[in-house]
Amino acid sequence: SRPVTIPQLQHWKQQGRPITMLTAWDFLLAEILDRAGVDVILVGDSLGMVALGYPTTLPVTLDQMVHHSQAVRRGVKRALLVADLPCLSYQQSSTQALQSAGRLLQEAGVQAVKLEGAYPSAIRAVTILVEVGIPVLGHVGLTPQAIHQLGSFRQQGQSAAAADAIIRDALALEAAGVFGIILEHIPADLAEVMTQKLRVPTIGIGAGPHCDGQVLVTADLLGLSAQSPPFAPAYAHLRGTIHQAVTAYCQDVQQNRFGQT
């Protein structure tokens, strides 16, 4: 089918057609996701934790995001390809935001970028990028680049005041021109209200069933991660499957059975 576009995502929201989104960090998985019909593929900075083994997403560099986005790009034909702007790659100035997003679009061929938060420098980045025609996806609720300020990966927006602040953030991002907003780890009823209030699609992760779309970290979906958040269901258990395959191979080699049958 035809490549997914940003206007199509808006249209799908109006039609009530749910949007599917998953993360990828390499060619191999990206190609499988794309052929399976995932609408949006995100080169998320969660790759820092999942693929690179860091305890947070903070150490991820723009060079790493470009490198992984290039690999994913080679595997994706239909899905809309989005990459995360990593920690502190967009807040310093409009120039920095343009240069960072520009590298992801020009060197890696992604079609849009995502950034976290709705504080003034994040809004400024959205505004300048949208002004020059670079689509931006917002991200509110649990924003992992702010982990040291949040203190833990716990659910956000639990008090009425915190919920109101998240709604205000999302509306400010929409006014600045984002084409959609990730809602991460917030109460389902808050996500439902936001999905009704916003004209742009909401894509939830740990935000209940009432969003316009859903996103998961693919390693969690596949049961590859050693630990995954409580809101991320595993649709396969590949960690165990791979462990079994590797131990069977090792035994065959060690017991001189490899290639005998």
What amino acid positions are annotated as catalytic residues? 184
Q: Which is nearer to ligand KIV, 141 or 187 (CB)?
A: 141
Bridge partners of residue 43, in order along the sequence: 83
| Residue entry with tokens 């833990």 | 152
Per-residue binding letters, 167-196, with Na ion (x by CB under 5 A): ------------------------------
Residue 93 counted as an annotated binding residue: no
Q: Which of 19, 25, 44, 80 binds ligand KIV (CB under 6 A)?
A: 44
Instruction: Give CA torsion, residues 62, 83, 25, 220, to 10 deg.
Output: 120
Q: Which of 79, 205, 221, 222 binds ligand KIV (CB under 6 A)?
A: 205
Helix axes 160-176, 188-197, angle to 10 degrees: 30
For residue 105, the partner it binds in Na ion, ligand KIV, none, with Cβ less than 5 to 8 A by kind, is: none
Tell me which residue has its CB nearest to ligand KIV: 44
Residue 63 counted as an annotated binding residue: no
Rounded-to-integer distance, Cα 16 and Cα 25, Å: 29
From the list 99, 92, 110, 101, the residue with the least C-alpha distance to 24 is 110
Q: Does 84 bind Na ion (CB under 5 A)?
A: yes
Buried b (16+ CB within 10 A) or exposed e, 86-120: bbebbbeebebbbebbebbbeebebbbbbbbbbee
Rounded-to-integer distance, Cα 169 and Cα 154, Å: 19
**Closest CB 215 distance from ligand KIV, rounded Å:** 5
For residue 134, the partner it binds in Na ion, ligand KIV, none, with Cβ less than 5 to 8 A by kind, is: none
Q: Which of 6, 44, 126, 225 binds Na ion (CB under 5 A)?
A: 44
Q: Does 217 bind ligand KIV (CB under 6 A)?
A: yes
CB 151 within 8 Å of CB 157 = no
Query: Which parts of this chain interact with Na ion (CB under 5 A)?
Result: 44-45, 84
Query: Which parts of this chain interact with ligand KIV (CB under 6 A)?
Result: 23, 42, 44-46, 84, 182, 205, 215, 217
